[in-house]
């Protein structure tokens, strides 16, 4: 995936998640990337990751329907720089 395409996809997912998640949780996302059929959503801490994982599980069918080629969604921890 080209860098510009990856940046555009990250922007798409950031906006999508902002529309579908509570505002307090959306601000705790530190990054989003598509990797080999998996949408990886990064939370800024383990505590926020746990909350995000729970909500993403409920949204997973909608997430997978929003983009062809995705087969799974994962939530990971990545503190902000």
Tens digit of each residue's pLDDT (9 = 90 or more) over 23-71:
999 899 999 999 999 999 999 999 999 999 999 999 999 999 999 899 9
Residue linked to tokens 């909350």: 51
Rg (CA), the chain: 12
Q: How many residues does the chain have?
A: 81
Q: What is the pTM of this model?
A: 0.91
Q: At what angle do helices 3-20 and 46-66 cross, to 10 degrees?
A: 100
Tens digit of each residue's pLDDT (9 = 90 or more) over 27-40:
999 999 999 999 99
At 64, which CATH number?
A: 3.30.70
Indicate the number of domains in the chain.
1
12: containing domain: 3-77
Tens digit of each residue's pLDDT (9 = 90 or more) over 8-18:
999 999 999 99
């Amino acid at each position: 995936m080209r860098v510009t395409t990856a940046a555009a996809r990250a922007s798409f997912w950031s906006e999508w998640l902002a529309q579908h998640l509570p505002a307090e949780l959306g601000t705790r996302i530190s990054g989003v990337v598509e990797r080999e059929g998996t949408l990886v959503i990064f939370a800024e801490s383990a505590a926020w990751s746990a909350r995000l994982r729970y909500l993403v599980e409920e949204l997973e069918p909608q997430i997978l329907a929003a983009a062809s080629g995705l087969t799974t969604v994962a939530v990971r921890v990545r503190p902000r720089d």
